[in-house]
Structures are given as C-alpha cells and as structure tokens.
Structure 1
Amino acid sequence: MNSRAKRLILPLGGALAVTGMIGASLSGTAQATAADPDVKSTTLTSSGNAKAIAGYWTASKLKSAKTYLSDSTVSAKLNKTGAARAAADGKPGVVAPTGEGGKSAGRSRNVNLPITVGKVFFVDNKGQERWCSGSSVQSKFRNLVATAGHCVYDTDTNKPFSNFVFIPGYYQGKAPWGIYVGAKVNTHDDFTVYEDYDYDYAFVNVYNGIKQTGVKEVTASQYAATKGFKYTEDKEISKAEYEAGIEKYGEAGPYWKKLADPKVETVGKPADAQKYIEEYVKDGRNGVKLTAVEVVESAYKAAPTGLDNHAKFERFSDDKGRVAISQEEYRDLVKQKADGDFLGKLEATKDANGNEIAWYKTRFFIKKWVKTTVKEHYFYTRFFVIVMSDAGRLGDNVGGQGFSWNQKLGKKVFTFGYPTSAHLDGDKPYSGHTQKWCYGKTGAAPVVPAYKAEEHQAIKCAFTPGASGGPFLLQYKNSKRTGYLNGVVSLTVDSDKNGRYDRVTTPYFNGETYDIYKYAANLWTGQLPR
C-alpha cells in the first residue's frame, strides 16, 4: 500500500484531488527536488550556532540524557492477518559505502562494531535531554546521518527537536571522533504531516565535527571576546576574600556584593563620598558603607546616576551587556524568579525553529548607604569557555554506510544500536552506554494501526528501547565494518505479548525513501565560522 492510497481515508476535497494523488504515486523514482511534495526539509540551526550547541553537550549531559521512549514501543500480535505488507515499488538499487576499515568502535561477541554508528542527542519540548541511535551514511559531501524520524521531528509540536547532534562511536560519555551538529533534517512529508510510521526515517545533514578539548577558566575580558560556548558561575565568598579581590582587581573585576536584606534603613550620603568612594565600598568609613540592592530592570533604568541613595550602581550591574550562562543556571534562575528571589532579566536565544540554544542573565543594582553593621553577601564570578577545534567532515572521519532500496524480504541483516530500557517484564539486560547488535532475516512485521505502520519489515531481536534509529545493514562486512543501509529501527515489539521485546521493525525502504535520501545526500552544509 502506498502513501497516497492511505490518504484516501482523509477528507481531500473531492474526487479530482484523489485521482491526482493516485496518479502521482505511480510515477517513477525521479530525483527529489525542493519542489517534490514528498520531501520535508527543515533547517535545524545555522552554522553560527554550531559551536554553542556542541559546547552544550558536556560529558555530564551526555551521560545523564534519557533514552527517547515516546512512540517507539508496542505490543502487537504477529499473524497472517496482522502482517505488514511491505513491497517494492520499482527495481532494487544500491549506493556503495565509504569506509574507514582501520578504525573500530570495538568488538562485541566476535563482531567488529562500526564506528559509523553512534547516538543522536537532542532536547525535547519539555527541556529534557534525550537520545536515540543513528548512523553515518554515504553522501556527496560526507555529511549525512540516518536515524528514525521520531528521533528528530516532534509531531506533537510540528517542529524538530532542539540542540540535535550526532556522536559516532559513542562510548560512555565520550565523543572520540567529535560532535556533529545537525544543520538540516530531511523527512517524508507523510511522517511530518500524517504521523505515518511507514515513513519513520530521517536523513540529517550535519556540520563539520567539533571536538571539545577542555574547559578553560578565563578572565572577564577574555570571556567577553569569546564567541563560542561559555558560561559563568557565581560563588559566595567571605568578606576577607571579597576585600582581597577588590584590592587586586578593582571595581571592574569579578568581585561583588549585595545586601542580605534590601529593606534595611538607609542613611544619608556622606559629604566625603566622592573622595573615599573605594573605602566606603570596601569596608565602610565612620560607621557608614555603600552597598548594592538588586532591582528589576525598569527600576534600574529609572534610577539616576551619581552617588546618592537609589542611584545606579554600574560596577555591579551588567551594564556592558547580558552574561552567557549554562542552561542549568538558567533553569535554576527561572525558578528563583518565579519565587521573587531573582530580580534580573533572563533571556534565551532561539534558532530558526524556535528552539533554545543559548541562555543569558542581566542583573541590575542600585546604591544604598547603610550602617556598617548591616549584613552583606559577597560573591566572586568565575568565567569559563569550552575549548573546541574543527574535527572535519563526518564521512572523512568514520566513513558512511551504503544505501539500498526495494530489496526483497528474507535477506539477512545486522542491526546496531544502544538499547537501554528494561523489557516489559522488568528485566534490564542493557546499559545504553555501549553499542550492541542483532542479526537475523527480514520478514513481515506486525501491523500497528496506532502508528499507521502497515509496511514495516522486522527481524527477531531482543533489543529494548534506545535502539530506535539504529541501522539495518545488508551485506555487512566485518573486516570493513560497512554494509548497505536497508532500514532504521522504528519500533521495538513484543509480538507474542509475553513481556519480552522480540522484534525490531523498520519502514520498508522503497523508491520514495531513495528519493528522500538522494535529495539529502546532495546537500552541502557549508563551513563552520572561524
């Protein structure tokens, strides 16, 4: 059954529209173009954001990310009336792989694991870091990743997930060949519009890889000049540490303070305030000191300049612009702001799809003259940058699997991925930190009406969720670690309903799949900015 035929159950506005769609489905597998209605090509992020997104995925985030379970598991009976009807729509074909035979992601039960396979990481619409499996695949510009459509595109919000990256050869939080940030995702329109899992595949063009070579603490001026991923941390310190810091770095340095209780009574500005301003700020003088009170942006803008009470306190405020922070600090400050404990301004930069990719804070303070007995809190701001380098093109580093379509069922394939979840009966044989494999003969998959999955093929395999997006590879050569992509894991299935997953399924790769692949395989992602 082709995609157009399944659409006949939907209100299309008359017989002429239906006839036109049926006719379109019988055409050959011409090369896809931007005008081809089957191709849904969506920008993920610009090259200017790539380093920031790569920097976002620290080792701790990679390890703590959760597998994406949504729309990936099902219990479905496999029988003659419930078997999928996967079938070719034309002649079979293949595209040869490019390999890096001297490199390996390790061995597992005498199988050389391909370094083309890894994890795709992304942030879902609730802000949770997630992951699936994926694989590098051959393309003209060596920049293409294949995975499941539901691991890139959120059909609930009708837009891609944010902060998408691919890490080939992923192993326990490590990215040995770099982090590849998604530039553009190419899917079949039936998946993005109709949520049809017979088209649950995606081909993602990625930018050159980025290697994180470390985290470096820098000065405030170096931090301001850095364009890549960076963040700050505010650490509360003692009064003695604050005084030593002010003495060394002066008013433009990273040391600052604020009143413990902003409601304390003020005193008048001393007559010698201008002459002894540093002394008043540091320790106080004659029982009086100058301190800072945090206020909202509108109050700060309305405040006068000068040394009087309630005047702007520029040295402690972020007058020179917003300060980049980590997403963790941003989330924490959002909660504090909701409780009225943070009065500054919070901002998040978004990409073309409305996904957050960078986070900032701006704080505002005014002057307040108080008695020296009033309690204050003291802080030191630390500045960090993620040191990165260009790792080059994906295919040059790890190779790319070949591609095949319109292949007969009954062929033996390997599938690779990172299963992690427990079986339905609670048994948990996988960790999700290391790559695993299955081997079997392709056959009919259960029909799953909930996902419109009517044309899947499957192999017997005990993978659990986490393997979604991993490749089905025909003619996999153990010595070269390459084969021909013939599917991507879409659903993990308990076909006999005994509480154990026993099959993984993939959409059948036909001529329409080849059209989407061919379109994506000819897209260039450009150079990363220096």
Structure 2
Amino acid sequence: MKRLLIPLAAASLSAAALAIPAGAAPSWATDDLTPKPADAYGVADFWNKSNGAALRKATQYTLDTKVVPKLVHAKTTDTTDGKPGMTGPSTTAKPTASKNVNLPKTIGKVFFQDKDGEYHWCSATSIQSQYRNLVATAGHCVFEAGSKEDVYDKWVFVPGYYQGKAPYGIYVGAYAFTAYDLDLYDDYDGDFAFVAVHNGVSLAAEKQVSAKEYKEWAGDKWIKPREIDEKEFRSCLLNLGECWSEGKDTKADLVGPDHPEAVLEKIEVNATKYKYAKVGKGQGFKFGEPEVEQVTEAEWRAYKGLGTRSTGPDKAGNYTITHYYTQQWVKPGTARKYFAPIYVIGIAKDMGRLGDVVGGQGVAWNQPLGQSVTVFGYPGAAHPDGDKPYTGVTPKWCAGKTSTKSWQVNTFRVETHQVLKCSMTGGADGGPWLMKYDNNKRTGYVNGVTSMFHDYDGNERIDYVSSAIFDGETADVYKKANLAQTKSIVGPNGELLK
C-alpha cells in the first residue's frame, strides 16, 4: 500500500485506532485530499468563482472502458463475512407525507479534477458519523486509476447541487478512505469510498474596503480597476497612491480600405474650399448628402465652424447650418488609459458541519441480499445506443429489490456485486442504495453505492446497475473514516483560518 496512514496530528486519529496487527492484511486505505483549511478555501473558491462556472463546466465521470461491463452469471447467495450491523440516520428535514418519492436532502454531486485537467462529477450522499462530516460515494469517484497522486484533485461535495448553485455550501474533501484492494489493485469489489469533509463554506458575498483593510485581510481578496482621467492619475501619483496606466498614445494612420485594421472615418470639411463631388470608397470622397442642422438664432449668429450658415431665417423663421463631410479609411490610434484600484474582499460564511446542515443517512453492512432499496443519483450519460434521456441536472431514482445472488463482472476484477434493475446511466456513479428508505423522513441505510452500469439483455440500453457489497470490510473502512476530524475553513467574520 502506498500511503496507509494519514498524518495523525492532522486527522486527530490515535495510533491505537489505526494500528494493524502484525501479519494481518489491511482492509482499508486512506489518502489526503485537502487537509489544510487554507488550501481547502482555495479549492472551494475555484469551484465557486464566476458564479460556479467550473461546476457548470464539469461533465459526468465515465468509466475507463470502451464496452459496457457485462454481468457474467449469478454466484453465491451468502456474501456476509460477519455479523450484520448498521448505524442509524439523522435528518434535518421535516417529515413530509407524500405518495411520490421524496428526494433526500443528503444527496448531491461530488466534483473533482483528473490528471488531465478535466472537470468531472459523480453522485454521493452525506452519511451519519461521529463528527457529522462523512460523504459516501463510489471509490472510482475519489481514487484515480493510474494516477501517481492516487486521488483526484480539488475534490468537493455539493449537497442539493442544481445548475451551478450550492444551496447548502461547498464541502471540501480532507481525507479519503476506501478498500485496500481498490486502492492498490483497482478491484471494484471494493468500489466505495468514505470522505471526511471540512465544514461547508459559502463564498457569495463581497465588500469594498480600504487599502489598509485589504492588506490586513486573511481571506479571499482581489482588486477591481476603476478608470480615471489623466489629472486624477497625476494627483494619485503625487500622493503615492497605487494607480497605474496601460497602453500608449498613438495617432491614427491613413490606410486603404483593404487594410485589416481599417475603419471608416467621417470628417467635416469646408465646402467652399473642398471640391465636394461624388460619393466613393477612396480617401477624400464625399460621405453622403450634406446634413442640415436646425439651430437657434443665437447659435446661428455665433457659429464659426466649417459648415455653411443659411442667409437668414426661412419662411417659417428657422435658422439652419449645412454641414459637409468626406470619408477616409484609417488605422485607429490608441490612447493611454489610467486606473485606480478598488479593493474588494470576499466574505465567506462557515456553513457548519455537513451532517448538521443536511443530515446523514445510516450505513448498513453484512445484510442479506434481496433487500428492497431506493437508489438515487444524477444520471447524465447516454445509453449505449446513443439515446440520452437524462440531463444530469436533477437527481433521479430507481426502486426495487436487489438480486438474491451476487454477480460477477469480469471488467475491473469484480467477483461479487449486488445488482438492481434500473435504467439510470453514467453520472449516477456513487449514488446511494438506501435500504429501509423512509419516504416521509427521507432517510434510510446506505447498503451500497452505484458502481457500474450494465446492458444485460444486449439491446444497447442500460437495464441494471451494480454495487459493491457492503460487508465487514466495508464496515472496517467506515469505522476508520468515522474517526477523522476536520475543521472550519473560515472564522466567524469570514476570515481565512490556517
């Protein structure tokens, strides 16, 4: 294993809790995501800035295979490796009676950047834990196969995500836990992960401040340019202000109409000194017909421009001035611009612990197969035949009983998966399989997470999804993740914490 133990001081885990008996093979592995609050703030800002532009740019994760993974055949009916167990859910939602399936407040999307710099998302859910800070998703949505860094970059969870919005805040991943065999061998029998996240942060507000306040601010900050004139610029320099200029003053050049930077200029001329002839495209030809301007008597008497005054008032008593124009093609000149700074700070808000904000689903392990489950996720990929019924924008669901036998999938070394008849496609990866789902309370017990999508009947349509079976090893990973403490990213005034 490349990195079995996370830093004890950072994770607040005891050596006794993490110790592995001599000669025993570990069942779990862990890696750092973004454990330092200062770094985590930058990650949250990356996804949040420009009104969530990076969030909207992300695409659903796609399994690294050119063919749909095939379900081979049914296997054993007994997949337990110990006593059954579960931990109960918590909820912040008010119970609601409904005949329709109510979406859990706990579900959302995880976003991350892969080694090629591409932005992707999967589905996930908040789960119950000692420190109210755990997210459950697919292991392949956290641990990157073939990556030297092992885990994805800029990993965050956004509960309730919708079109670039993070209504409950952005929760940056601190530590990731998964099955040892997935991390080391890409064995999808352990395709699940539990991620401890920092407190949520909202970065929506900004405030204009003085230069002194700007320099002292420890959080997000930036400078907006304010254009000023040359007089204010020189005054700013004399007072040692932080002003600057851009560009330089250059004159316009006469060019031909075919010049790539040419623009047509309209120039007023004195008709008595200029032969005002035909309209044309070259330099000096007249620009349209003379333009007659109606003016007041006082303006008429005071006028000394290039135009021609009327001889006096017309029959209606109006005074006019006639203007004559020519045209020329020029390459425009440039003008130096002057700027002064506007100091702006980002006011971040600590949204609190994930479980306190949206609640957490329970977790169950070593349960018999054939369970009734409700599966949630954000499907967005097309079916193998190219049909794309889902957008990935809103969560969808499937409900039914899992198979009573485990199934083998030769792809990704799967020997035992549980399967459910369901037509959700890629993007639903990592979505929770909730056993004993209470539609009124919107809670249940996570007994699996969507791992792969299958076309069992061969009609080029996804008809089954599969999940790793949550057994005693899963419980072991969950219990290790349950010990991980995380922190607030910002203080009570929005300041960045170290």
TM-score, with structure 2 as normaliser:
0.70
What is the correspondence of 1:92-171 to structure 2 with a 5 Å cutoff? 92-102=84-94, 110-158=100-148, 159-171=150-162
Distance 1:448 1:32 in 2: 34
Partner SS for 1:466: coil
**Matched residues, percent identical?**
43
Structure 1 residues 94 and 226: CA distance shift in structure 2, 3 A: same
| Contact 2:375 2:398 (8 Å CA) reproduced | yes
Partner SS for 1:111: coil
Structure 1 residues 216 and 62: CA distance shift in structure 2, 3 A: farther
In structure 1, runs of 5+ residues without a counterpart are 1-30, 262-372
Report the counterpart of residue 39 of structure 1 in structure 2.
28
Partner SS for 1:112: coil
What is the correspondence of 1:257-296 to structure 2 with a 5 Å cutoff? 257=246
What is the CA deviation profile of residues 427-468 of structure 1, one whole-angstrom value per residue up to 9, with x for unaligned ones? 111111111111011114653223011111110111111101
1:161 maps to amino acid = Y
Report the counterpart of residue 466 of structure 2 in structure 1.
505
Structure 1 residues 254 and 464: CA distance shift in structure 2, 3 A: farther
What is the CA deviation profile of residues 372-419 of structure 1, one whole-angstrom value per residue up to 9, with x for unaligned ones? x99757666665543211111111111111111111111110011111
Structure 1 residues 203 and 196: CA distance shift in structure 2, 3 A: same
Considering only CA atoms, is the larger Rg found in Structure 1 or Structure 2? 2
Report the counterpart of residue 185 of structure 1 in structure 2.
176
What is the correspondence of 1:259-338 to structure 2 with a 5 Å cutoff? none
1:495 maps to amino acid = Y
2:179 maps to amino acid = H
Distance 2:364 2:65 in 1: 24
Report the counterpart of residue 24 of structure 1 in structure 2.
none
Q: 1:88 aligns with which of 55, 80, 105?
A: 80
What is the correspondence of 1:513-528 to structure 2 with a 5 Å cutoff? 513-528=474-489
Partner SS for 1:160: coil
Report the counterpart of residue 57 of structure 2 in structure 1.
64
Distance 1:157 1:232 in 2: 37
- Aligned pair count reads 384
TM-score, with structure 1 as normaliser:
0.66
1:527 Cα deviation after fit: 4.0
Partner SS for 1:517: helix
1:85 Cα deviation after fit: 7.2
Report the counterpart of residue 357 of structure 2 in structure 1.
397
1:185 maps to amino acid = A
In structure 2, runs of 5+ residues without a counterpart are 1-15, 251-332, 492-498
| Contact 2:77 2:369 (8 Å CA) reproduced | no
Partner SS for 1:127: coil
What is the correspondence of 1:194-273 to structure 2 with a 5 Å cutoff? 194-216=185-207, 221-231=212-222, 241=229, 244-248=232-236, 252-257=241-246
Distance 1:227 1:186 in 2: 31
1:415 aligns with 2:375: yes
1:441 aligns with 2:430: no
Q: 2:443 aligns with which of 482, 500, 519?
A: 482
1:257 maps to amino acid = E
After alignment, is 95-104 or 447-456 more displaced?
95-104
| Contact 2:71 2:454 (8 Å CA) reproduced | no
What is the CA deviation profile of residues 241-286 of structure 1, one whole-angstrom value per residue up to 9, with x for unaligned ones? 465445457654243335699xxxxxxxxxxxxxxxxxxxxxxxxx
Structure 1 residues 424 and 231: CA distance shift in structure 2, 3 A: farther
Distance 2:432 2:66 in 1: 17
| Contact 1:445 1:457 (8 Å CA) reproduced | yes
| Contact 2:140 2:191 (8 Å CA) reproduced | yes
Question: Cα RMSD over matched residues?
Answer: 3.0
Report the counterpart of residue 330 of structure 1 in structure 2.
none
Structure 1 residues 489 and 374: CA distance shift in structure 2, 3 A: closer
Report the counterpart of residue 287 of structure 1 in structure 2.
none
Q: 1:493 aligns with which of 450, 454, 460?
A: 454
Report the counterpart of residue 460 of structure 1 in structure 2.
421
Distance 1:103 1:178 in 2: 23
Report the counterpart of residue 328 of structure 2 in structure 1.
none
1:33 maps to amino acid = L
| Contact 1:474 1:484 (8 Å CA) reproduced | yes
Distance 1:399 1:522 in 2: 18
